[in-house]
A and B are shown apart, each in its own frame.
Chain A
Amino acid sequence: DVKVTQSSRYLVKRTGEKVFLECVQDMDHENMFWYRQDPGLGLRLIYFSYDVKMKEKGDIPEGYSVSREKKERFSLILESASTNQTSMYLCASSAAGTGAFGNTIYFGEGSWLTVV
Chain B
Amino acid sequence: DQQVKQNSPSLSVQEGRISILNCDYTNSMFDYFLWYKKYPAEGPTFLISISSIKDKNEDGRFTVFLNKSAKHLSLHIVPSQPGDSAVYFCAASGYNNNDMRFGAGTRLTVKP
Task: Judge whether B93 and A103 touch: CB under 8 Å.
Answer: yes
Looking at chain B, what size class is its interface with the partner chain? 20 to 34
Stretch at the interface among A12-20, A62-70, A77-85, A93-101: A93-101
The bracket for how many chain A residues form the interface is 20 to 34
Contact of A4 among B34, B43, B95 (CB under 8 A): B43
**CA of A94 to CA of B6, assembled, Å:** 24
Please tell me if the beta carbons of A100 and B49 are within 8 angstroms of each other in the complex.
Answer: yes
* Contact indicator per residue, chain B 21-43, by CB within 8 Å of chain A (1) or not (0): 00000000000101010000111
A/B pair count, beta carbons within 8 Å: 65
Q: Is the CB of B98 within 8 A of A103?
A: no
Q: Which of A33, A48, A99 has the most CB of B within 10 A?
A: A99
Instruction: List A residues 8-54 near B (Cβ within 8 Å).
Output: 31, 33, 35, 40-45, 48, 50
Q: B11-19, B62-70, B72-80, B99-107: which lies at the A interface?
A: B99-107
> A104 at interface (Cβ–Cβ under 8 A)?
yes
Q: B45 near A107 (CB under 8 angstroms)?
A: yes
Residue B41 contacts which of A92, A105, A110 (CB distance < 8 angstroms)?
A110
B96 lies within 8 A of A105 (CB): no
Residues of B near A76 (CB, < 8 A) are none
A90-B95 in contact (CB<8A): no
- Do residues A109 and B100 form an inter-chain contact, with CB atoms below 8 A? no
Asked if B83 is at the interface (CB within 8 A of a chain A CB), the reply is no
Contact call A103/B34, Cβ cutoff below 8 A: yes
Q: Are A90's CB and B43's CB within 8 A?
A: yes
Report which residue of A4, A41, A42 has the largest number of chain B beta carbons within 10 angstroms of its beta carbon.
Answer: A42
Do the beta carbons of B32 and A99 come within 8 Å of each other? yes
Binary contact track B80-100/A, C-beta < 8 Å → 1, others 0: 000000000101010111101
Q: How far, in angstroms, from A45 to B4 measured CA to CA in the complex? A: 13
In the A-B complex, the 10 residue pairs with the smallest Cβ-Cβ separation, listed nearest first, are A107-B43, A43-B102, A42-B104, A103-B32, A103-B97, A42-B102, A109-B43, A107-B44, A108-B43, A102-B97
